[in-house]
Amino acid sequence: MSNMDRQTSAVLRAGTVLGIGIMAIGLLLTSFDISEDILTAGIGILIFTPVAGVAVSTKCLWQEGDRKWTGVALILIAAITVGMILSFVGL
C-alpha cells in the first residue's frame, strides 16, 4: 500500500467514524433541542470527508511529482467548490 493510499484511507476512515459517532450522539439526544444541530454537524462531516480525501490525495500526488493527476485532482476540487458555492446561493 502506497503512502498516498494510507493517508487517504486514514482520512476517509476517521471522517466516517467521526461523522457517524456525532450522528449517533445526536440520535441519543433526540429529546433535547440541540439534537438537530448535532445531527447536522455529523452529516456535514460525512459530506466533507470525501473532499478531505481528495485534498490529501492531491497533496500526495504533488509530493510524488505526478503533475498530471495533481491537475485532475485540483480540477475535481474546483468542481466541488463551485458546486458548494452554487448550492449555498441557491442556484
pTM flag (> 0.85): no
Domain that holds residue 66: 3-89
Domain total in the chain: 1
64 backbone dihedrals φ, ψ, rounded to 5°: -80, -10
Quote the cell numbers at residue 24.
449517533
Q: Report the SS3 class of residue 55.
A: helix
CA–CA distance, 82 with 91 (Å, rounded to integer): 11
Predicted confidence (pLDDT) per residue in 26-69, tens digit? 999 887 778 888 999 999 999 999 999 999 999 999 999 999 99
Quote the cell numbers at residue 70.
495533481
